[in-house]
Amino acid sequence: MTAAPDHRPTFAQVALSDRLGAAAPFALIPVLVVLGFLAIGSSSSWLTLTVSGLAMGMMIFIMASGLTLVFGLMDVINFGHGAFISVGAFIGISVLIGLGGWTGAPSLLLNVAAVLLAVIAAMTVTGALGWGFERLIVRPVYGAHLKQILVTVGGLIVIEQLIHVIWGPDEIFLTRPETLKGAFTFWDAAIERYRLLAVVIGLVLFLAMRLVLKRTKIGLIVRAGVQNPEMVEALGYRLRLVFIGVFIAGSALAGLGGVMWGLYQEVITAGMGEQMMILVFIVVIIGGLGSVEGAFIGALLVGLMQNYIAFLAPTLALISNIGLMTAILMWRPQGMMPVVKAK
């Protein structure tokens, strides 16, 4: 009988370079902002562009966060997510148009109440729609990526066409509520009020989401489920229920993003969700599938990049995002902050 080998565990500290590497993506945003400043030169237009880039990024983040969590948790890729964006926008804007008396009044209270009602309506409907979508469309095809992609694309088309049937084929123009119109100047830069509001909402949502994910029990289960679903189920949690909850929340957030995007653009079309999906996918890929922080950074990068490039070289705006994605995938093929998977 041989003696057990001498085993001496070593407790190595995480190397500084590894820690820096994990945090490196956060540094990209200031770097991009500074680069934008150098390229644009004029500080007032730089400030305007930065604010609108951040606003756009926040809205994309709101739409992308649900998608990335759903993927991380259940390995489900939902191409139909864009449909929730469109439906949210149409419901929300219909409510706003219906409350025309409130939005037209120059009173902050009435305006905010109208927007809040619109958002609640949109989120309720898209949340319910997400629940139905999960039951009818996604559930029968668990575990089969190919079928998931095909079926959810089918769902996207059907919902988009139903929007056409219900609201008619034309785009709908709208005006923002009275107090959200216009801009104010700050250091010679014109900053639209609505954009600032979008930045604030996005930031609050991100912090709230982080708080829920990092500080509550349900957040712990979700994060653990993303890392190793089998283990969480073995410990007795019904991950299916958690997953349905996350799916509904993600759909509702897509609806919120849709309302905000509709108010930002002041025009809504049934195809808007499909167009946004392209940016959302880019964000989710560069952020690393399953990672909320990654999606946040990715969304801000995409928003800033799009606005800077649209100012510097308008024709390159769409290509710039593809270029950004390529560069980041060359740096980190799994995305900036891939969630470690035990499978």
Partner 1 sequence: MRELLSGDLPRSIPLAVLLVAVFLALALAPFLFPGVRSLETAARICIFILLVASYDLLLGYTGIVSFAHTMFFGLGAYGVALASLHLGRGYDSVLLGSLVGALAATVLALAIGLFSLRVRAIFFAMITLAVASAVAVLVSQMSGLTGGEDGLNYKIPRELTPAFRLGELFGVRVNGRVLNYYLVFVACLVLFLILLRIVNSPFGRVLQAIRENDFRAEAIGYRVVWYRVTATCISAVMASLAGSLFAIWLRYVGPDTTLSFAIMLDILLMVVIGGMGTIYGAVLGATIFVLAQNYLQALMGSAAEATAALPLIPDLLNPDRWLLWLGLLFILSVYFFPTGIVGRLRAGR
Which C-beta is closer to partner 1: that of 38 or that of 146? 146
- Under the binding rule (CB under 8 A), the answer on residue 282 touching partner 1 is yes
Which C-beta is closer to partner 1: that of 194 or that of 311? 311
Cβ at position 141, least distance to partner 1 in Å: 8
Alpha helices in the chain (DSSP H): 16-40, 43-74, 81-98, 100-104, 108-133, 145-167, 193-215, 217-227, 229-234, 239-265, 272-287, 292-312, 317-331
**Size of the residue set binding partner 1 (CB under 8 A):** 42
* Integer Cα distance of 276 and 266 in angstroms: 15
Distances (CA, A) of 160 to 83, 116, 165, 243, 284: 6, 25, 9, 25, 22
Distances (CA, A) of 20 to 16, 25, 26, 27: 6, 9, 10, 10
- Under the binding rule (CB under 8 A), the answer on residue 315 touching partner 1 is yes
Cβ at position 126, least distance to partner 1 in Å: 19
Tell me the three-class secondary structure of 66-85, residue by residue.
HHHHHHHHHCCCCCCHHHHH
**Which x/- pattern over 153-172 shows residues binding partner 1 (rule: CB under 8 A)?**
xxxxxx-xxx-xx---x---
- Name residues contacting partner 1, limited to 74-113 (CB under 8 A): 77, 79
- Name residues contacting partner 1, limited to 284-303 (CB under 8 A): 284-285, 289
Cβ at position 128, least distance to partner 1 in Å: 19
Which C-beta is closer to partner 1: that of 177 or that of 303? 303
User: Taking the C-alpha atoms of 49, 55, 56 and 58 in order, what is their torsion angle to the nearest 10 degrees?
Assistant: 140
- Under the binding rule (CB under 8 A), the answer on residue 265 touching partner 1 is no
* Integer Cα distance of 305 and 212 in angstroms: 29
The β-bridge partners of 173 are: 267
* Integer Cα distance of 279 and 283 in angstroms: 6
- Under the binding rule (CB under 8 A), the answer on residue 342 touching partner 1 is no
- Under the binding rule (CB under 8 A), the answer on residue 147 touching partner 1 is yes
Report CA Rg, the chain: 22
- Under the binding rule (CB under 8 A), the answer on residue 278 touching partner 1 is yes
Which C-beta is closer to partner 1: that of 80 or that of 177? 80
- Under the binding rule (CB under 8 A), the answer on residue 131 touching partner 1 is no
Chain residues binding partner 1 by CB under 8 A are 77, 79, 137, 140-141, 145-147, 149-151, 153-158, 160-162, 164-165, 169, 274-275, 277-278, 281-282, 284-285, 289, 315, 318-319, 321-322, 325-326, 329, 333-334
